[in-house]
Structure 1
Amino acid sequence: LSEFALSKGEWKIAEQLREVLSILKEATVFFSRSTPNLATVIPSMDYINNEFEKMIADINLDPAIRAAVSLARMTLNKYYSKTSDVYRIAMVLHPRHKLNYFK
């Protein structure tokens, strides 16, 4: 079984991957609740995008992780561009967001 054991480098990559996936898990758990609404979609996508940007720029992360995060960010932005204006309208109508979020 020792031949299947992860090396220290592989453990480091696995830990970095866990960090990336935890961001997506937080969003998944949040949107799985009964309370999310349209007004929270864009801020959540922006949060994920910002976290991904930080990770891509982090030279301490393994190049494979940074490349994977870059691809994930491209996919996120692809879907972001497809969001309906309904999400933005919901944010403007939401008492907490109104137009402040877009300034």
Structure 2
Amino acid sequence: MLDYALKHQDTVNTITQWWEVGLWKFELEDHEWTMLGQLRDVLKILKDATLYFSRATPNLTTVIPAMDHIYNMLTSYSHNKKYMLSICSAVQLTKNTLNRYYQLTDNSVTYQIAMVLHPQHKLAYFKATQWEDDWIETADRLVHEEFKCLYLSINDNSDVESKDNVFKSNDNVLMV
């Protein structure tokens, strides 16, 4: 909608200047058109994310990288001096709201384990995107604990120590 209005700015201005139909009160000033253009640019990341997630069923291993990308883009927008202060403030509020919900994934063992076990991501993803070391260590520990709890107890407990040596993780490989 913003794309359309901005593309047809001259036409919109002409129509809103018609006093006889009472649209003059909707006429935008130049700084408001500038704000609309900036708002369109900033909202594009959310539009793209919506389209991305509507094309296929999102899964745990696509949500986290997508959220990281959105967060990084919003951070960039909120600090960019080319945007009006009102846009930067709105982006910061959006980022704060997103972060509040995104942090809830830290409470989900499933998210952490899925990312660590994913062949493409593993712990290297979190290191590359500069996640906190504590979070990375916790995710690694959770995978080990879940394996020990759910899989080692299935087999003969007499050789648990030898199986502990088989389950090792590093940045690129997770062997079971």
2:63, 2:109 → 1: CA distance? 12
How far 1:48 sits from its partner (Å)? 0.9
Structure 1 residue 52: deviation in Å?
Answer: 0.9
Counterpart of 2:36?
A: 14
| Structure 1, unaligned runs of 5 or more | none
**Alpha-carbon deviation of 1:36?**
2.8
TM-score by length of 1: 0.90
TM-score (norm 2): 0.55
Q: Larger relative contact order (C-alpha < 8 A, sep ≥ 6)?
A: 1
Q: Counterpart of 1:82?
A: 104
Residue 92 of structure 1 is matched in structure 2 by 116
Distance (Å, rounded) in 2 between the aligned partners of 1:86 and 1:10? 45
Task: Give the Cα separation in 1 of the matches to 2:111 and 2:37.
Answer: 34
Please state how far the C-alpha of 1:85 moved relative to its aligned partner. 2.7
Which residue of 2 is the match for residue 36 of structure 1? Answer: 58
- Post-superposition Cα deviations, 1:42-85, rounded to whole Å, max 9, x if no partner, equal 11111111111111111110111001000000001100111123
RMSD across aligned positions (CA): 1.3
1:53 paired to 2:75:
yes
Q: Is the 8 A contact 1:41 1:87 kept in 2?
A: no
Cα drift, residue 10 of structure 1: 0.9
Conserved 8 A contact 1:92-1:99: yes
Letter in 1 for 2:85: P
1:97 Cα offset (Å): 0.8
- Structure label with greater radius of gyration: 2
Provide the C-alpha distance between the structure 2 equivalents of 1:28 and 1:20, rounded to a whole number of angstroms. Answer: 14
Kindly, what percent of the aligned residue pairs are identical? 52
The SS at the match of 2:56 is coil
